[in-house]
Structure 1
Amino acid sequence: MSDQPSRKKVWRYAGAGGFLVLALVGGGLVARSAAEREQATIAAENAVTNVSVIQPKPAEAGQVVLPGTLEAWNRAEINARVSGYVSAWRADIGDTVRAGQTLAVLEAPELDQQLAQARADYQTAVADRELAQISAQRWESLLAKDAVSRQERDEKHGQFASIDARARAAQANVGRLSAMRGFTQLKAPFNGVVTNRSAQLGALVNAGSAGGEPLFTIADVRRLRLYVRVPQTLAHSLAEGVRAQFSLPEQPGQQIDAVLVRTAEAVERRSGTMLVEFLVDNRDRQLRPGAYVDVRIPVSGAAGTFQLPASTLILGSDGARVAVIDRNGRVSMRPVTVGRDQGTTIEILSGVSAQDRIVLTPPDSLVQGDQVRVVRANTPKASNAKS
């Protein structure tokens, strides 16, 4: 009888031990499964890229710095109209001259002889014309008396007309050579400054020689033209009357005013730029034509344009793009049109709106359709800095 209770106890203890083993094994499996699920969740969360976003701001007025060239208001190269020898020059480089002032005198003995011959030919033609006129008048009187035929009278009138034409031609030739004789004195066409002189005493000057250096160069420097080529994206914001400032490389701190007076109204296809002209007052003659300057042109922000930090731009073979985040955290690579580069910021002409969320400093691995997590940026948003 004593063996039965002992056997029951053994089975009871064995059942309890088995249950304990099953509980331990089941708990381990449950804990392992929970750990695996947690690791999977962490791995999935780590696979999502954290990004910071920024919204576009309306473009603000700023300025653009472009190279320009100063040119004289008027500039003329004085060449010889007749061949001869330089007998005198009366102006040198840097001299201020007036309109009509003699710059140099040429000796042209061959021209003088041609003029003398032309005058003699003209006198001969005048004498022949007078004789032909008298003959025509006499034959007209004889025709009234029926002493000559009408045919003979008409021939005399024809001779007079022919000789009169030759006399007029001789007179025109005298006028032409007299005008050429006046070209032996080289004169300034307008008030200005002599910027170049190649005339030398006794030098032979050949009129009409191709590629020859001009004897004088005159420039009107009281006013200067400032030529600047502006990009096509800025052409719409420039109009007559816009004021700009420029500085010389040797005087970077001195700003000089200029006023826009005209534009080319056409974009050059090769460079994608438009030529504009500014007027510069130079009555003190401190500026020199031909100088290169840095021009600062104010530019107003056009409607519908925005500014973004330069770090948002993605440049590739497909052009400029930005990464836009939608409501579901998906990435959309959107092409944009870039305007002014202001260093820290870039002007965007099209492709974004004020409500878009743009990825700030997108990683290289970011592609279309990626799932991302938006986090707060560690650095403050870039402001719309003016260049």
Structure 2
Amino acid sequence: MKKYIRLTILTGILIMAAIWIPNWIVAGIPVVEVTKVKEQSYSETVKATGEIRPIHQKDYILDYPVVPSQVNVSVGDWVEVGQVLALVDTEQTVSAMASIQKNIGNTDFSALLAGSSFDEKISDFPEQIIANATGTITSISLQEGMLSSMGNAVVTIADSSQLQVKAFVNEDDVSQVQIGQQVKISGKSLGKQSYSGTVQKIYPATTTKTEGLSTQTGVQVEISIDNAPEDITLGSHVTATITTQPERTGMMLPYESVNQLDDGTEYVFCYQDGRAVMRPVKTGQETKNGIEILSGVSKEDWIIRSASSLQTNNCYVKLKEE
């Protein structure tokens, strides 16, 4: 009787094992997603940051400091060459210079007036300050009733019809940048609008730029702006995307589909009849959308999306249900 009981129990165990073990094995099979190589167009680019500046600008520098009696313009005004920017009060100018010479002594003004009478110098003072260029006033230091500086620009006039971006390219990327390359210019101040441009000049020496606590080394480049509108804001900070290699088409896979062996061999896993089969591949350009596959797989192959999720070649896998 006991023999039959043991046999019955053993038979039950075997039946349960026959039911449970396959489920256990199936539960241990990796679940994968698959994809295919896709033809995509891409180009190689380098990003630089900078600001919009005029290509041409002129400074108005006075031979003598003056006291304006009237200032007719301010920053942002458009002026034409020959336009009167300010009127000079000759008497106040002489009085201010004499007072400074008397109170301070040895100054630039003393040297300016040395050996000459005020009357002789008065004839040299301009009665008007006249615009020496056509464009937008980007800076002006003239103030009514105040003695201007000497040797520094009192007015700067920029030709806003011809603009450029002076940009900073990181030293890691500068070897890819060449004169004549096409550029896309964008920025918050430009809204949704972007402009095209061309690399015109690459500075021969490196410079540094500090942002917060970090310092970067790079090179300044000058980029012309095509068809810039008249209302574009000088000094606006922009991003310049420089196309270093023209657009081309390649067969692309997601980055996670490609893995690498210890010897440097790159590979993917192809899905074949319920198994993951390792396939060596040769890769090309890396883009923001994926990595180019030069050889090793075809458009017809199903590629397992995450190569790192599998440890062995030719292992069983099952497809993730949609």
- Please, what TM-score do these two structures have when normalized by structure 1? 0.49
Q: Residues 204, 287 of structure 1: CA spacing in aligned structure 2 closer, same or farther, 3 A cutoff?
A: same
Structure 1 counterpart of 2:32: 51
Structure 2 counterpart of 1:149: none
For 2:32, the aligned partner's letter is: V
Structure 2 counterpart of 1:86: 68
Q: Confirm whether residue 285 of structure 1 aligns to residue 268 of structure 2.
A: no
CA-to-partner distance for each residue in 1:335-381, whole Å, 9 max, x for gaps? x999543xxx2457xxx764378652579xx47669854445667xx
- Among 51, 59, 77, the residue aligned to 1:69: 51
Whether the 8 Å contact between 1:235 and 1:274 is mirrored in structure 2 is yes
Counterparts of 1:208 and 1:312, CA distance in 2: 65
Whether the 8 Å contact between 2:31 and 2:320 is mirrored in structure 1 is no
Q: Which residues of structure 2 form unaligned runs of 5+?
A: 99-108, 209-214, 260-265
Structure 1 counterpart of 2:145: 202
Q: Confirm whether residue 222 of structure 1 aligns to residue 161 of structure 2.
A: yes
Whether the 8 Å contact between 1:224 and 1:282 is mirrored in structure 2 is no
Structure 1 counterpart of 2:103: none
CA-to-partner distance for each residue in 1:187-236, whole Å, 9 max, x for gaps? 65544322333312321234369xxxx53222121200124456778766
Structure 1 counterpart of 2:181: 242
Pairs within 5 Å for 1:244-263: 244-246=183-185, 249=188, 252=191, 254-263=193-202
Counterparts of 2:187 and 2:225, CA distance in 1: 13
Counterparts of 1:338 and 1:267, CA distance in 2: 28
For 1:278, the aligned partner's letter is: I
Q: Residues 284, 36 of structure 1: CA spacing in aligned structure 2 closer, same or farther, 3 A cutoff?
A: closer
SS of alignment partner, residue 286 of structure 1: coil
Whether the 8 Å contact between 2:202 and 2:221 is mirrored in structure 1 is yes
Structure 2 counterpart of 1:355: 296
Structure 1 counterpart of 2:212: none
Deviates more, 1:67-76 or 1:32-41: 32-41
Count of paired positions: 278
Deviates more, 1:253-262 or 1:183-192: 183-192
Structure 2 counterpart of 1:309: 254
For 2:222, the aligned partner's letter is: E
The CA deviation at 1:87 is 4.7
For 2:198, the aligned partner's letter is: V
The CA deviation at 1:96 is 1.7
Structure 2 counterpart of 1:114: 114
Structure 2 counterpart of 1:147: none
Whether the 8 Å contact between 2:257 and 2:268 is mirrored in structure 1 is no
- Quote the sequence identity (%): 16
Q: Residues 34, 370 of structure 1: CA spacing in aligned structure 2 closer, same or farther, 3 A cutoff?
A: farther
Q: Which residues of structure 1 form unaligned runs of 5+?
A: 1-16, 121-176, 315-321, 380-387
Deviates more, 1:297-306 or 1:75-84: 297-306
Pairs within 5 Å for 1:316-327: 324-325=268-269
CA-to-partner distance for each residue in 1:145-177, whole Å, 9 max, x for gaps? xxxxxxxxxxxxxxxxxxxxxxxxxxxxxxxx9
Whether the 8 Å contact between 1:49 and 1:371 is mirrored in structure 2 is no
Counterparts of 2:313 and 2:170, CA distance in 1: 36
Q: CA RMSD in A?
A: 5.5
Whether the 8 Å contact between 2:69 and 2:89 is mirrored in structure 1 is yes
Q: Residues 84, 250 of structure 1: CA spacing in aligned structure 2 closer, same or farther, 3 A cutoff?
A: closer
Whether the 8 Å contact between 2:29 and 2:318 is mirrored in structure 1 is no
Give the helix-richer structure, 1 or 2: 1
SS of alignment partner, residue 82 of structure 1: coil
Q: Residues 113, 32 of structure 1: CA spacing in aligned structure 2 closer, same or farther, 3 A cutoff?
A: closer
Pairs within 5 Å for 1:1-387: 29=10, 32-33=13-14, 35-36=16-17, 39-54=20-35, 60-62=41-43, 69-76=51-58, 78=60, 80-87=62-69, 89=71, 91-93=73-75, 94-98=77-81, 103-104=85-86, 105=88, 107=90, 109=94, 114=114, 116=116, 181=124, 188=131, 190-207=133-150, 215-229=154-168, 238-246=177-185, 249=188, 252=191, 254-264=193-203, 270-271=215-216, 275-281=220-226, 285-293=230-238, 298=243, 300=245, 307-309=252-254, 324-325=268-269, 329=276, 340-341=287-288, 345-347=289-291, 354-355=295-296, 359-360=304-305, 366=309, 373-376=316-319
SS of alignment partner, residue 44 of structure 1: helix
Q: Residues 91, 281 of structure 1: CA spacing in aligned structure 2 closer, same or farther, 3 A cutoff?
A: farther
Whether the 8 Å contact between 1:193 and 1:218 is mirrored in structure 2 is yes
Give the strand-richer structure, 1 or 2: 2
The CA deviation at 1:85 is 2.8
Counterparts of 1:233 and 1:56, CA distance in 2: 30
- Please, what TM-score do these two structures have when normalized by structure 2? 0.56
SS of alignment partner, residue 39 of structure 1: helix
Whether the 8 Å contact between 1:240 and 1:260 is mirrored in structure 2 is yes
Larger gyration radius, structure 1 or structure 2: 1
CA-to-partner distance for each residue in 1:321-346, whole Å, 9 max, x for gaps? x99548984999xxx999543xxx24
SS of alignment partner, residue 116 of structure 2: helix
Whether the 8 Å contact between 2:182 and 2:199 is mirrored in structure 1 is yes
Q: Residues 340, 235 of structure 1: CA spacing in aligned structure 2 closer, same or farther, 3 A cutoff?
A: farther
Q: Residues 45, 198 of structure 1: CA spacing in aligned structure 2 closer, same or farther, 3 A cutoff?
A: same
